Amino acid sequence: MTTTTALRLPVPGGDVAAMVDRPAEPPVAGLVICHGANNDLRLSLLYQLAQAAAAVGFVALRFNFGYVERGKPPDPIERGVAELQDAFSALADMEGMAGLPVCIAGKSRGAVVAAVAASVGLPAYALALLSYPLHGASGAMPPQPHLAHLHTPTLFVIGSDDPYCRADRLDEACAVIPGSTEIHLIAGGDHSYQAAPGAERSSEELQDEAVRVALAWLQRQIGQGNL
């Protein structure tokens, strides 16, 4: 049986809430999970991912970015990167983690923080980026120079109806990424993998697919079976 522990995680400027989900057996890898701009570590999708990851041997660390604790709008990405670096180091130093690979999963803004952190040297083994906000709803794409420096194996999981990440635009962006990339399209999903009213599949089914695909890909990256 997996276990879940709450803790306070030291980050620049203070400490933040965090949750650690541990497997029953000795771990095979670690997974740091970053939330999006308008939610926190309690988001059901991230809870589901953490629980599923722990069930197959990952130590999964979810944490709040500092602005959530302060009740403020999101900080600049650079501050998020610094907080992620501290969370990554904290997980790597946990009991049983010596020498094991540490991966990162991020949702929306958390996916951007993860990609930027990896592009500047955070030694993540692999990145699972959920609902990456590549452009605005109008299609305008802000500069993203970090993508040209992203060497970490990366999976993008996007909804086919996500207004912030069209599949064709993501294909173009992946062309400039020097590391290996894969894209998984959730048919009928929006930016939060929500289904349209009356759709054949429910939102729960779409979110289940996102978690299942991301976790199976991470397992393959660390060499955990042919999944």
Give the pLDDT confidence of 146-199 residue by residue, as tens digits. Answer: 999 999 999 999 999 999 999 999 999 999 999 999 999 999 999 999 999 999
Burial label, 4 (beta-carbon count in 10 A; 0-12, 13-18, 19+): middle
Total number of domains constituting the chain: 1
Q: State residue 109's pLDDT score.
A: 97
What rounded mean pLDDT belongs to the chain? 96
Q: State residue 139's pLDDT score.
A: 86
pLDDT, tens digit (0-9, with 9 covering 90-100), for 42-87: 999 999 999 999 999 999 999 999 999 999 999 999 999 999 999 9
State mean pLDDT over 108-124: 98
Q: Is 226 inside any structural domain?
A: no
- Report the distance separating Cα 64 and Cα 62, nearest Å: 7
Confidence grade of residue 227 (pLDDT, cut at 50, 70, 90): very low
Residue 9, token pair as written in the block: 């995680």
CATH number of the domain enclosing 79:
3.40.50.1820
Domain encompassing residue 113 = 3-221
- Report the distance separating Cα 130 and Cα 133, nearest Å: 9
Q: Is 227 inside any structural domain?
A: no
Q: Is 172 inside any structural domain?
A: yes
DSSP annotation of 200? S
**Type of residue numbered 175:** A
Q: Is 125 inside any structural domain?
A: yes
pLDDT score of 225 more than 60: no
Q: State residue 181's pLDDT score.
A: 98
Q: State residue 226's pLDDT score.
A: 43
Is 226 or 218 the better-scoring residue by pLDDT?
218
Q: Is 201 inside any structural domain?
A: yes
pLDDT, tens digit (0-9, with 9 covering 90-100), for 186-210: 999 999 999 999 999 999 999 999 9
Q: Is 58 inside any structural domain?
A: yes
Confidence grade of residue 5 (pLDDT, cut at 50, 70, 90): very high
